[in-house]
Every structure is written in structure tokens, then in C-alpha cells.
Amino acid sequence: MKKIIVAVVVAMFWAGAVQALPVLAHRTRNSVVRSVDVEKHLVLLEAEVRDEPTEFVVQEGRTRLRCDDRSAELKNLKVGQKVRLYYKREHGENVATEIAWNSPLPPVSLFWNRASRLASQPILSVRGIA
């Protein structure tokens, strides 16, 4: 009877240890978009290393598209945009699981124009003193 109890306890711990193993992480690419085909759901990235994959499939419902940490659409992704792409290799294809990018910053002149307008306005106005 003791052998059976020991075997059950060992089996329970072993099963828990197997379930606690980490899932294999996605592969990651940081690169620049070379082309986007919305109809075929393909994204091509520039190759920085010789044998690095460049073509990625975007699957609706499986690929998360994020621009500035918000949901985005594939049509918002532009050629020349720097992206971080997470993918898995499935059935001979590189399937993108997430594509993240930041929108381009506005020109500095826009910021300075607004800042100069704010600086020219009085902060505190007392009657008779501007």
C-alpha cells in the first residue's frame, strides 16, 4: 500500500513539474519594412544577416498589430517603418504573432511653434498689470 501511495505522490509531483516547463519563446526580429501586401497578408523585412528570414505571414485573428501600444491594422504599416516582429515557424512558413511599431514623431518645429506661443502669453494677470 505504501508503494502505491509513494508512486501516486511522485507521479503528481512529476506531472506538476512537466506542466511548469516554460513554453518556447517566439523568435524576434528588429528590422525595417521593405514591403507590405495587404491582400496576400505578407510583410517583407530587410535582411540584416544572411540566413535571416525576411518574409512573414500575417494571420487575421492570430497576429497582433500594435502602433504606439494601441491596436492597429496592416494597412497602417508603411514601407521604411522600423518594427519589432515576433514570429513562429509553422508548416514551413514564418507566421507573425506580433508586429509593433511607433508612429513617426512630428517635426521639432511644430513643438517649438507651440512652445513659443505659450511663452508669449502671460501666466498671471492682475488688474492693471499685464
Tens-place pLDDT, residues 92-107: 889 999 999 998 766 5
Q: Quick one: pLDDT at residue 58?
A: 95
Task: For the chain, give every domain's residue range.
Answer: 27-101
Return the CATH number of the domain spanning residue range 27-101. Answer: 2.40.50.320
Per-residue pLDDT for 111 more than 60?
Answer: no
**In angstroms, how far is the first alpha carbon of the chain from the final one?**
94
Tens-place pLDDT, residues 41-57: 999 999 887 878 889 99
Question: What distances in angstroms separate CA 122 from CA 37, 54, 118, 125, 126, one per listed residue?
Answer: 52, 55, 8, 7, 10
Q: Quick one: pLDDT at residue 37?
A: 95
Q: Which of 38, 41, 34, 31 is nearest to 79 (CA)?
A: 34
Task: Give the pLDDT band of residue 63 (cuts 50, 70, 90).
Answer: very high
Task: Give the pLDDT band of residue 18 (cuts 50, 70, 90).
Answer: very low
